[in-house]
Amino acid sequence: MGRWEPGARERLVVAAVDLFTEQGYDATTVAQIAERAGVTKSTFFRHFPDKRELLVAGQETLSRLLTEGIAEAPATASPLEAVAAGLERASTAMSPASRELGPRLKAAVAASTELQERDALKNVSLAAAMTTALVARGVPEPTAALASALGVLAFKRGYAEWSEGDRDGEGELAGFILPALDELRTASASLG
Amino acid sequence: MGRWEPGARERLVVAAVDLFTEQGYDATTVAQIAERAGVTKSTFFRHFPDKRELLVAGQETLSRLLTEGIAEAPATASPLEAVAAGLERASTAMSPASRELGPRLKAAVAASTELQERDALKNVSLAAAMTTALVARGVPEPTAALASALGVLAFKRGYAEWSEGDRDGEGELAGFILPALDELRTASASLG
C-alpha cells in the first residue's frame, strides 16, 4: 500500500456524488467511485466503510462541533443562544466544497429512499447530541429537546439556502443558519 | 390463493416483533415470520412488501389521520391547537395491541441501525404531512414547520410514556400526547 494520499478523501466524495447523480445511488459501486476518483478500492476503504457512509462522513465532526459550541457558550446564554453558538461552531466545518456539493447531494438523496433514511437518522443524531449538551448545561429536558429541534430545522434551512442560492461567494454558512434560527424563534411566539 | 384471512395482518406483526426481539432483525426472514404467524409467505406479501415495511405499516394511516385532524380543526384554532386536533385524531388508530407492542418494538429498533433509519424517516414524513396541512390552513411556513416539530416530539414522548408505563388500562394514547404537547408549548416560552 502507498502512503496516505492528500486529497483522496475529497476526490472520493466528489466522484461518488457525481456518479450517484448520473446513474443513481443503487447502481453505483465502490469500484466505480474509486476509479472515477483515480484511487484504488483499498484507498476507498481506508477512508469510508461503505458508499453510504461516504455521504454522511461529516456527521461526527458536526456533532462534535455542535456539542463543543454549546458547552463553551457563556453560562448566561439562553438555551437558544447556546444552540446558536453550537451552530456557528459547526458551520466552520462546511467548506466551499460542501457548498458546491449541496445541490448534487440533494438530488442524490431525493432519488434514494435508503439515503433519505440515512439522512433522517443523521438529523436525529445531531438533535440528540445537542439535547445532551444542553441538559449538561442544566437546561430542563423538554426545553433542551425543543431547542435542539429548532437547531436542526435552522441548520437544514440555512444549509439549503446557502448551497442552493446563486449568491456565489456571498459569505459563510453561519450567515444563513443564524437568521433561520432567529426566524424560527420569532415563529415560536405565534404557535398559539 | 385462499380468501382474505381476518387477523393475519396483526398476527404477522406480533410474530415479526417477537422474532426481531428474540434473534435480531437481520437474522429474521420473511419465511420465519410467516411460519410463526401460521400463514404462508404469499399471505405475508399480500400484507407487506418486505419485513421492514411491516414495522412502519401504520405510517400511512397516521399520516392521513394527522392531516384530516389538522384540516378539520376550527378555523379559529391556533397552529398548535390544529396540531393537537391532528394528534388526537391519529391517536384513535393506536389500539391496545399497539401499546403492548411498544416496548418490544423499541428493543428491536434499538438493536438495528436499519430500523433506526426507517423510524427516523417515518418521523420526517409525519412532520412533512403536518406542515403541508398547516400551510394549507394559511399558517406561515416557518411556524408550520415548528408546530409540526413540536407535534412529532409530543407524539414520540406521549407514545413512549403510554407504552412503557406500568399503568395498565390507564386511558387512551391522546391522554399522554396532549399533555406532552402542552409541556413543549410551555417550554417554548423559555427558549430565550
**Facing A188 at nearest CB: one of B121, B146, B153:** B146
* Alpha carbon distance B174, B76 (integer Å): 22
Q: How far is B62 from chain A (nearest CA, A)?
A: 19
Contact (CB<8Å) B188/A188: yes
pLDDT at B170: 59
Q: Predicted ipTM?
A: 0.81
Instruction: Give A46-96 as a DSSP string.
Output: HH-SSHHHHHTTTHHHHHHHHHHHHHTS-TT--HHHHHHHHHHHHHTT--H
The cell numbers describing B86, all together, are 391532528
Q: How far is CA A163 from CA A40, A92, A175, B51, B96, in A?
A: 30, 15, 12, 37, 46
Angle separating helix axes A141-164 and B141-164, nearest 10 degrees = 140
Q: Is A51 helix (H, G, I), strand (E, B) or coil?
A: helix
Distance (Å) from the alpha carbon of A145 to chain B's nearest alpha carbon: 8
CB atoms within 10 A of CB B25: 20
- Class of A8-53 per CATH? mainly alpha
Residue B44 near residue B15 (C-beta atoms within 8 A): no
Contact call for residues A39 and A12 (beta carbons, < 8 A): yes
Residue A139 pLDDT: 96
Distance from C-alpha of A66 to C-alpha of A53, rounded to nearest angstrom: 20
Check residue A5 and give its pLDDT: 46
- Residue A13 near residue A101 (C-beta atoms within 8 A): yes
Chain B residues within 8 Å of chain A (Cβ atoms): 77-81, 113, 116-118, 120-121, 123-124, 140, 142-143, 145-147, 149-150, 153, 183-188, 190-192
Cβ neighbourhood burial of B89 (10 Å; 0-12, 13-18, 19+) = buried
Cβ atoms within 10 Å, residue A55: 23
Where chain A has pLDDT below 70, the residues are 1-6, 166-170
Within 10 Å of residue B14's Cβ, how many Cβ atoms?
Answer: 17
Whole-model pTM?
0.84
Tens place of pLDDT per residue across chain B (192 aa): 444 445 888 889 888 888 887 888 889 999 999 999 999 999 999 999 998 888 777 788 899 999 999 999 999 999 999 999 999 999 988 877 778 778 888 888 888 888 888 889 989 999 999 999 999 999 999 999 999 999 999 999 999 888 887 655 557 899 999 999 999 999 998 898
Give chain B's end-to-end CA distance (angstroms, integer).
62
Q: Which chain A residues touch B if contact means CB-CB below 8 Å?
A: 77-81, 113, 116-118, 120-121, 123-124, 140, 142-143, 145-147, 149-150, 153, 183-188, 190-192
Widest CA span in chain B: 62
The minimum CA-CA distance between A84 and chain B, rounded to whole Å, is: 11
Predicted local distance difference test score (pLDDT) of residue A72:
97
Q: CA A148: distance to chain centroid? A: 15
Residues 6+ apart with CB under 8 A from B16: B28, B33, B37, B51, B54, B55
The pLDDT, as a whole number, for residue A2 is 46
Each as own residue / partner, the long-range contacts of residues B122-125 (CB below 8 Å, 24 or more positions apart, any chain) are B122/B56, B122/B59, B123/A120, B123/A124, B123/B152, B123/B156, B124/A116, B124/A120, B124/A123, B125/B59, B125/B63
Q: CA-CA distance, A154 to A159, in Å (whole number)?
A: 8
Q: Which of B145, B131, B100 is nearest to A180 (CA)?
A: B145
pLDDT value of position B23: 85
Q: Find the CB nearest B146 among A78, A121, A184.
A: A184
Question: pLDDT value at position A105?
Answer: 82
Residue B97: is it exposed, middle or buried by C-beta count within 10 angstroms (0-12/13-18/19+)?
exposed
The position carrying cell 389500539 is B95
CA of B1 to nearest chain A CA: how many angstroms apart? Answer: 32
Domain layout of chain B by residue ranges: 8-53, 56-188
> Which residue among A118, A150, A153 sits closest to B117, beta carbon to beta carbon?
A118
Note whether B8-53 and B56-188 share their fold.
Answer: no
Pick B56-188's CATH classification: 3.40.50.300, 1.10.645.10, 3.40.605.10, 1.10.357.10: 1.10.357.10
Residue A153 has, within 13 A of its CA and on its CB side, a CA count of 30
